[in-house]
C-alpha cells in the first residue's frame, strides 16, 4: 500500500499544490500500472479541493484529507498572513509538515513486494 | 486513523482586554490616518473582509459544519456557532423579512466596545464595522453574497447592537472552461 | 439638585496625572467656591509627594495605594491615593462630615481607580488629556451624591 501523489486545488480550479511520493520508477510506470490506482477526493464548502492518489489497497481516506485540510492547510497557509490565498503554495513549513504527515500514515510504505 | 475531533475543542484563551485594546488601537489609528469617518468605516470593512475570507477556512476546519441548506440555517450557524467560537457571545436572530432573505443579529454585549466612548466628533464612525466585513468575506467564500450593516449600536446610544444581514445572491462557482 | 446645597456635602475630587501633576479631572459639589478647592488640591499634592518618597524608601515596592488623611485643616479633611503609575487622586470633604469614615473613603478611592482604569482603556482617550468621559462623570456624581 502506498500514497502516490496529492493535489490541492482552489475554488477556481487552479492547482495550489502538488507533491508526490513513491514514484521513483516514474519513467517505468506503464499504462497498466497507472490505471490501477484509487483517487480520493475531499472538497470543503469554500471550494478547496484535495485529491490524493493511492494504490488500490488503501481504505477510504476522507478523514485523512480532512485532516490535511484542517491541521495543515488552515494552520500553515490560511493563518499565515504572508501566504496569498489562491496562489501556488510556497510555504516550506507547509511542505515539510505535509511530507511528514503523509509519511506517518499507516498505509504509507514503500512497496516492498 | 486518528480522529481530529479533539482539535475542535481546544479553543485558545486570550485575554479579552488585550483583544479589546488591540482593536481600539487599530480603530483610533485609522481615525488618525483617515480624516473622515466614512473612509475609516470603509477601511474597517476591507480589513474585516480579508479576515473573513481566511477565518471561514478556520471555522470550517474547527466546526464540523457543512454546507447550509438555506439562509435560515446560515443565520443560526453564524449566531450560535461562529459568534460563540470567536467572540464568546451568542446573538439572537430576529426580524426576518417576509421573504426570508434578511435578518438581524442582536448583540446584547459587544466585546469590541468595552471601555469605548465615542467622542462627539466621530458621529459617523461605525466602530465595529470590521464585523460586517468579516461576515461578508466569510459568506462570500461559501458562495453567498450578502449585504451587512449596523442598524443599531450601543455606542450611539441605542439599547442594543443590531447587525442587519441581507442575502443578495448565490455566487456560482466558476470553473475555468476546459478543466478536467 | 437639592442635595448639593446641604452644608455637610462639600466634597471635591481631583485627579492628577503622573509626573507633571497636571490636573486631569476636578469636580466639586457645590460648585461655588470651586477655585478655593483647586488650590487645596494643588497644595495637597506636595504632601502626597512627600508621603510617597517617605513610604517608598521604608517599604520598597510593597506600598499601599491609599495614603489616608493627608492633612486636616479647620474646615476640610484631605485624603490622598496614588497609583503605581503615579496618578494621584485627592478627595476633600468637610471636616464636619462624620459619615465618611476611613473605610468609606478607601472604597471611594478604589471605585475611582477602577473607573479611571476604564477611562484609560477607552481607545479615544489620550493619556494626559483632561477626562471628559460621560461614564466617568456619572460615576463620580453618584459617589458625591452618596457622600453628601
Which of A106, B119, B60 lies closest to B52 in space, CA to CA? B60
Domain count, chain A: 1
d(CA A73, CA C26): 56
Structural domain of residue A68, as residue ranges? 3-103
pLDDT at B1: 40
pLDDT digits (tens, 9 = 90+) for A44-103: 999 999 999 888 888 888 889 999 999 999 999 999 988 888 888 888 999 999 999 998
pTM, two decimals, is 0.81
B132 Cβ contact list (under 8 Å, min separation 6) = B45, B48, B126, B148, B149, B150, B163
| Contacts with A78 from chain B: Cβ below 8 Å | 54, 57-58
Contact B115 C124 (CB under 8 A): no
C39 Cβ contact list (under 8 Å, min separation 6) = none
Q: Is C60 left (phi over 0), alpha (psi -120 to 50) or beta?
A: left
pLDDT digits (tens, 9 = 90+) for A80-89: 988 888 888 8
Q: Of residues C120 and B173, which shows the higher confidence score?
A: C120
Quote the cell numbers at residue B119.
467622542
Q: Nearest CA to CA, how far is A70 from chain B (Å)?
A: 5
Residue of C nearest to B119 (CA): C124
Question: Do B8 and B62 form a contact (C-beta atoms < 8 A)?
Answer: yes
Residue C2 has pLDDT above 60, yes or no: no
Question: Do B45 and B136 form a contact (C-beta atoms < 8 A)?
Answer: yes
Closest partner CB to B118 (pick from C119, C121, C124): C124
Residue A110 lies in a domain: no
Q: What is the ipTM of this complex?
A: 0.79
Q: Nearest CA to CA, how far is B135 from chain C (Å)?
A: 24
pLDDT at C31: 67
pLDDT at B15: 86
Residue A50 lies in a domain: yes
Residue A108 lies in a domain: no
pLDDT at A76: 92
Contact B24 C134 (CB under 8 A): no
Residue B174 has pLDDT above 70, yes or no: no
Contact B175 A46 (CB under 8 A): no
Which of A103, A107, A113 lies closest to A55 in space, CA to CA? A107
The mean predicted confidence, pLDDT, of chain B is: 88
Q: Of residues B100 and C55, which shows the higher confidence score?
A: B100
List, as own/partner pairs, every contact residues C74-83 make where C-beta atoms lie below 8 angstroms and the sequence separation is at least 24, other chains included: C76/C10, C76/C40, C78/C40, C78/C44, C78/C47, C79/C105, C79/C109, C80/C44, C80/C47, C80/C48, C80/C51, C81/C109, C81/C112, C81/C113, C82/C48, C82/C51, C82/C52, C83/C113
Residue A7 lies in a domain: yes
Residue C63 has pLDDT above 70, yes or no: no
Contact B28 C123 (CB under 8 A): yes
**Peptide linkage before C42 cis (omega within 30 of 0):** no
pLDDT at C82: 86
What is the separation of C-alpha B29 from the centre of its chain, rounded to a whole number of angstroms?
21
B81 touches chain C (CB under 8 A): no
Residue A59 lies in a domain: yes
Structural domain of residue C59, as residue ranges? 2-147
Of the candidate ranges A66-75, B37-46, C44-53, the one whose mean pLDDT is the lowest: C44-53
| Contacts with B49 from chain A: Cβ below 8 Å | none
Q: Nearest CA to CA, how far is C46 from chain B (Å)?
A: 32
pLDDT at C1: 26
| Contacts with C134 from chain B: Cβ below 8 Å | 117
pLDDT at C142: 86
Contact B61 A69 (CB under 8 A): yes
pLDDT at B3: 42
The total number of residues written for chain A in this structure: 113
A110 Cβ contact list (under 8 Å, min separation 6) = A2, A22
Domain count, chain C: 1
- B15-117+125-170 in CATH: which number? 3.30.1380.20
pLDDT digits (tens, 9 = 90+) for C77-105: 888 888 888 888 888 888 777 777 888 88
Please report, in angstroms and rounded to a whole number, the separation of the first and last CA atoms in chain A: 10
Q: What is the CATH number of the domain that holds A13?
A: 3.30.450.70
Residue C55 has pLDDT above 90, yes or no: no
| Contacts with B119 from chain C: Cβ below 8 Å | 124
Q: What is the CATH number of the domain that holds C54?
A: 3.30.450.70
pLDDT digits (tens, 9 = 90+) for B7-33: 444 566 778 889 999 999 999 999 999
Q: Which of B19, B111, B112, B117 to mutate to test the interface with C (most CBs of C within 10 A)?
A: B117
Amino acid at each position: 500500500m502506498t500514497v502516490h501523489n496529492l493535489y490541492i486545488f482552489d475554488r477556481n480550479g487552479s492547482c495550489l499544490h502538488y507533491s508526490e511520493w513513491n514514484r521513483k520508477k516514474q519513467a517505468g510506470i506503464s499504462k497498466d500500472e497507472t490505471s490501477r490506482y484509487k483517487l480520493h477526493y475531499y472538497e470543503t464548502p469554500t471550494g478547496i479541493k484535495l485529491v490524493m492518489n493511492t494504490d488500490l489497497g488503501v481504505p477510504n481516506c476522507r478523514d485523512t484529507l480532512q485532516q490535511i485540510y484542517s491541521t495543515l492547510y488552515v494552520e500553515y497557509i490560511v493563518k499565515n498572513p504572508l501566504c496569498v490565498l489562491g496562489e501556488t503554495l510556497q510555504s516550506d513549513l507547509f511542505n515539510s509538515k505535509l511530507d511528514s504527515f503523509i509519511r506517518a500514515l499507516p498505509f504509507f510504505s514503500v512497496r516492498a513486494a | 486513523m486518528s480522529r481530529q475531533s479533539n482539535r475542535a475543542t481546544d479553543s485558545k484563551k486570550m485575554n479579552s482586554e488585550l483583544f479589546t485594546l488591540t482593536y481600539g488601537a487599530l480603530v483610533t489609528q485609522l481615525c488618525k490616518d483617515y480624516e473622515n469617518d466614512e473612509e475609516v468605516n470603509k477601511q474597517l470593512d476591507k480589513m474585516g473582509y480579508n479576515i473573513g475570507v481566511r477565518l471561514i477556512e478556520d471555522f470550517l476546519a474547527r466546526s464540523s459544519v457543512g454546507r447550509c441548506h438555506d439562509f435560515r440555517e446560515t443565520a443560526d450557524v453564524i449566531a450560535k456557532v461562529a459568534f460563540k467560537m470567536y467572540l464568546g457571545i451568542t446573538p439572537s436572530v430576529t426580524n426576518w423579512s417576509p421573504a426570508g432573505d434578511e435578518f438581524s443579529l442582536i448583540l446584547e454585549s459587544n466585546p469590541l466596545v468595552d471601555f469605548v466612548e465615542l467622542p462627539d466628533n466621530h458621529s459617523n464612525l461605525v466602530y465595529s464595522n470590521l464585523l460586517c466585513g468579516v461576515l461578508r468575506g466569510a459568506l462570500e467564500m461559501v458562495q453567498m453574497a450578502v449585504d451587512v450593516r449596523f442598524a443599531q449600536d450601543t455606542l450611539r446610544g441605542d439599547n442594543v447592537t443590531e447587525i442587519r444581514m441581507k442575502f443578495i445572491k448565490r455566487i456560482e462557482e466558476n470553473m475555468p472552461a476546459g478543466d478536467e | 439638585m437639592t442635595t448639593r446645597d446641604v452644608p455637610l456635602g462639600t466634597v471635591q475630587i481631583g485627579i492628577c496625572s503622573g509626573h507633571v501633576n497636571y490636573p486631569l479631572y476636578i469636580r466639586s459639589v457645590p460648585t461655588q467656591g470651586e477655585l478655593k478647592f483647586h488650590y487645596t488640591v494643588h497644595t495637597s499634592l506636595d504632601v502626597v509627594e512627600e508621603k510617597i518618597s517617605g513610604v517608598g524608601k521604608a517599604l520598597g515596592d510593597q506600598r499601599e495605594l491609599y495614603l489616608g488623611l493627608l492633612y486636616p485643616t479647620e474646615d476640610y479633611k484631605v485624603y490622598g491615593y496614588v497609583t503605581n503609575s503615579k496618578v494621584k487622586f485627592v478627595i476633600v470633604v468637610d471636616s464636619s462630615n462624620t459619615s465618611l469614615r476611613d473605610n468609606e473613603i478607601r472604597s471611594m478611592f478604589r471605585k475611582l481607580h477602577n473607573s479611571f482604569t476604564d477611562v484609560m482603556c477607552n481607545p479615544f482617550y489620550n493619556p494626559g488629556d483632561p477626562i471628559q468621559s460621560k461614564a466617568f462623570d456619572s460615576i463620580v456624581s453618584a459617589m458625591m451624591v452618596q457622600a453628601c
